Amino acid sequence: MCEHNPGSMFQNRKAAILGSGVAMGGRLVTAEEIDRLCGLRVGWTARNVGVLTRRFVTEGESASSMGAEAVRRALEAAGLGLADIDGVICASGIMQQPIPSTSALILNELGSDTAGLTSFDINSTCLSFLVAWDMASCLIHMGRFDRLVIVSSEVASPGLNWREPESAGLIADGAAAVVVGRPSRATEGAAVHASLLKTYAERAHLVEIRGGGSSLPATEHDGTNTSDFQFSMGGREVFRETMAHLPDFFEELFVNARFSWGDVDLMIPHQASPSSMRIVRRRLGIPRDKFFMTVERSGNAVAASIPLAMHEAIESGRMRRGMKVLLSGTSAGLSIGALLMTY
């Protein structure tokens, strides 16, 4: 087996997060409600999954409506308007509809002031935001774009399988957006120092929604094969595979970046699950106060989970200008990704 080195050769891209905003599903769902939906004894989800609350969308909410709201709030936080950006990249793991791209649907929600903006989607399931920010930081550094909005908006709840409570009890609906661009005086020093993204696709079918695309079209759903169109996760195997790669992965990232773990002020991981996150934190020897964890209160909002957590870290003052921040996570694929930045 050959081991590739996609490298992170290009260091210190001058690109800053200028503002962030979020929009959550309208309905708070407790672990007890998940217990009922799954037909389990009250207390099962809280004890075995560990996610106590999360939000689901309600009637009338969609990935594009939440996404548009998050974009508006991120622009407001950055003190900018639609006229100040070059485009919108949607970085979600779950599409709103097969055609067109969710980015176009979000621009449609934002209205006619978006006419002429660039838009496209980037998808690496739960790592979509991280990959989009990795790529966008390069595009901004070299001047392909001046300013972009990256938005992750996930409506995951309709695809949950209540007979698989280990996954159904984790997932949340929500959206987060960031405005990114060349650092200004206020964000001087902001940069992306290094990034790494590796896929181990022998495990591509461990986490999946098998039906709904071209290989098992939605039109073949007939009521007897519903679970083929729902989320399925071989959680333990994914975790075992991930842990096997993690130490070498981070060593490569840090060597490339000429960073050490001690340089990291704050790690914002993908909010995968409470138990897996705790094990990763201990295995990597990261102090609790440097490891930002919201999953028990907020669940796993797929690709929106990293920017949702980052927004909360910014708002609460945990993530401050000048800090060295490590974003990282895993996704179906199986992919592992990380990005080292100065906020």
* Residue 273 in the binding site for a second copy (CB under 8 A): no
Contact window for a second copy (CB under 8 A) among 15-23, 44-52, 117-125, 291-299:
117-125
Token couple for 285? 């020897």
Nearer CB in complex with a second copy: 145/343: 145
Site for a second copy in 5-24 (CB under 8 A): 5-10
* Residue 318 in the binding site for a second copy (CB under 8 A): no
Site for a second copy in 77-116 (CB under 8 A): 82-83, 85-87, 93-101, 103-108, 110, 112-116
Binding residue for a second copy, selected from 159, 183, 234, 235, defined by CB under 8 A: 159
CB-neighbour burial class of residue 213 (10 A; exposed 0-12, middle 13-18, buried 19+):
exposed
* Residue 124 in the binding site for a second copy (CB under 8 A): yes
- The phi and psi torsions of 224 (rounded to 5 degrees) equal -95, -15
> Nearest distance from residue 26's CB to a second copy, in Å?
15
Q: Give the integer Cα–Cα distance in Å for 264 and 325.
A: 6
Q: Give the integer Cα–Cα distance in Å for 283 and 8.
A: 24
Binding residue for a second copy, selected from 69, 73, 75, 123, defined by CB under 8 A: 123
| Interface with a second copy: number of residues (CB under 8 A) | 98
* Residue 120 in the binding site for a second copy (CB under 8 A): yes
Bond prior to 165 in cis (omega within 30° of 0): no
* Residue 176 in the binding site for a second copy (CB under 8 A): no
Site for a second copy in 33-62 (CB under 8 A): 62
Length of the chain: 343
* Residue 289 in the binding site for a second copy (CB under 8 A): no
Token couple for 259? 């960073």
Contact window for a second copy (CB under 8 A) among 18-26, 37-45, 198-206, 272-280:
198-206
> Nearest distance from residue 184's CB to a second copy, in Å?
18
Residue 67: name the closest of 107, 117, 11, 18 by CA.
107
- The SS3 call for residue 183 is coil
Do residues 271 and 126 make contact, with C-beta atoms less than 8 angstroms apart? no
Site for a second copy in 211-250 (CB under 8 A): 211-223, 226, 229-231
> Nearest distance from residue 5's CB to a second copy, in Å?
7
Task: Tell me the pairing of strands 191-199 and 335-342.
Answer: antiparallel
Token couple for 335? 């992919």
> In Å, how far from its chain's centre is CA 221?
29
* Residue 184 in the binding site for a second copy (CB under 8 A): no
